[in-house]
Amino acid sequence: MTIELRHLQYAVAAAHYGSFRRAAEALGVKQSSLSRRIRQMEDRLGVAVFDRSSSGVRLTTAGTEILRASRHLVECLDRMMASAKAAGRGEAGRLAIGYYTSLSAGNLRASFLEHARRFPGVEIRTVEGARASLLVGLEQGTLDVAIVTGEPATREGGAMPLWGERVMVALPESHPLATNEIVYWTDLRGETLLLSQRDPGPELRDILLAKLASPGVQPKIVSQDVSRESIMSLVGAGFGVSLVFEADIGTYYAGVVYRDVQDGNGPSRISYTAYWQSNNDNPALAHFLTLLEERYPLPSSRPTASAAPSRTPDQSP
């Protein structure tokens, strides 16, 4: 005959209050039910746990030893149940987020900080990688959400358009253009343009070609299989210039300055999109998506992305 958790809970409460009556009131049960359960536990253990008197109850020597272990078990179970309920509400647990932008500044960093403030019990695991590997991570269930550049693309699952960031040019601090507050795309003709072959390098290459290429004229783009950090080091050493997104300018690189790059229509911008699997039932993901909706609401003129939750246009970020 086994000892049930309820036996231990009732005994712990009775020992705490020194009274079956007060323990029953605290637990919201009948005194007779609590007394019967404790007597049942004593019968199964074969020892008296409490000495009973008209003034209340007190632990026997055997009961003191039994309750020492019982308190630990009850407290552990209470914590486990509280954690499980919090995880079910999305207030605890884990959230895996993939990206390939910078966390040194910008909207993604601000979103992480706000999420940590609202849900301190949720552990965020970040994964930095290329777009293709992030989307594979979603499909395999190793990622809950992936945040990448570009407008929402057609795919199975959810997609939510987020913020836009300015495209900036990274220059050696000794470069003649570094004295300008604004650099125009036409100023970059003839420059050596350094890009990484890794994301978002290919996307930046497409921007350069769209802005600078013309019949018979191609920009001098040098793509290297190195990290963005290595590209910035080359820029600082004077080997060329490069493009970055606005979030990247929060990172300092020796000898590198950042300037707005514009054309006649003003600054060039790149958009970001969040992707997730529609069958992902992680409650923490639902809270994170709600936070993104609140911070980056859709303008009323833009349609809601496929499979994205409904959004209120007049919310302020």
CATH code of 21's domain: 1.10.10.10
Say yes or no: 265 and 171 in one domain. yes
Q: Is 101 among the domain residues?
A: yes
Average pLDDT, the chain: 85
**pLDDT tens per residue, range 27-85:** 999 999 999 999 999 999 899 999 999 888 999 988 888 887 777 777 777 666 655 66
Say yes or no: 241 and 223 in one domain. yes
Q: Smallest Cα–Cα separation from 146: which of 245, 285, 250, 251?
A: 285
Q: Is 280 among the domain residues?
A: yes
Is there a contact between 56 and 19 (Cβ–Cβ < 8 Å)? yes
Q: Is 67 among the domain residues?
A: yes
Say yes or no: 135 and 171 in one domain. no
103 pLDDT above the threshold of 80: no
Q: Is 200 among the domain residues?
A: yes
**pLDDT tens per residue, range 145-189:** 999 988 888 888 899 999 989 999 999 999 999 999 999 999 999
Q: Smallest Cα–Cα separation from 246: which of 280, 271, 283, 216?
A: 271
Cα-only R_g, the chain: 31
Arithmetic mean of pLDDT, 249-273:
91
Say yes or no: 255 and 278 in one domain. no
Say yes or no: 144 and 259 in one domain. no
Q: What is the pLDDT of residue 92?
A: 60
H-only helix segments in the chain = 5-17, 20-27, 31-45, 61-88, 106-118, 131-140, 201-212, 228-236, 283-295
Single out the residue in 59, 88, 117 at which a domain terminates: 88
Q: What is the pTM of this model?
A: 0.64
Arithmetic mean of pLDDT, 203-210:
91
Q: Is 307 among the domain residues?
A: no
d(CA 66, CA 31): 22
Say yes or no: 130 and 153 in one domain. yes
Q: What is the pLDDT of residue 75?
A: 73
206 pLDDT above the threshold of 60: yes
Q: What is the pLDDT of residue 104?
A: 64
123 pLDDT above the threshold of 90: no
Q: Is 317 among the domain residues?
A: no
Say yes or no: 110 and 226 in one domain. no
Q: Where are the beta strands (DSSP E) in 133-255?
A: 145-149, 158-172, 182-184, 192-196, 220-224, 242-245
Q: Is 42 among the domain residues?
A: yes
Number of domains comprising the chain: 3
Say yes or no: 244 and 172 in one domain. yes
Domain range for 70 is 5-88
d(CA 266, CA 126): 34
Q: What is the pLDDT of residue 307?
A: 40
Q: Is 108 among the domain residues?
A: yes
pLDDT band for 311, please (50, 70, 90 cuts): very low
Say yes or no: 51 and 144 in one domain. no
Say yes or no: 74 and 100 in one domain. no
Q: What is the CATH number of the domain that holds 178?
A: 3.40.190.10
User: To which residue do tokens 């609140």 refer?
Assistant: 294
**pLDDT tens per residue, range 91-102:** 567 899 999 877
Residue 166 region by backbone torsions, left for phi larger than 0, else alpha for psi between -120 and 50, else beta: beta
Say yes or no: 51 and 172 in one domain. no
Would you call 269 helix, strand, or coil by DSSP?
strand
Say yes or no: 183 and 246 in one domain. yes
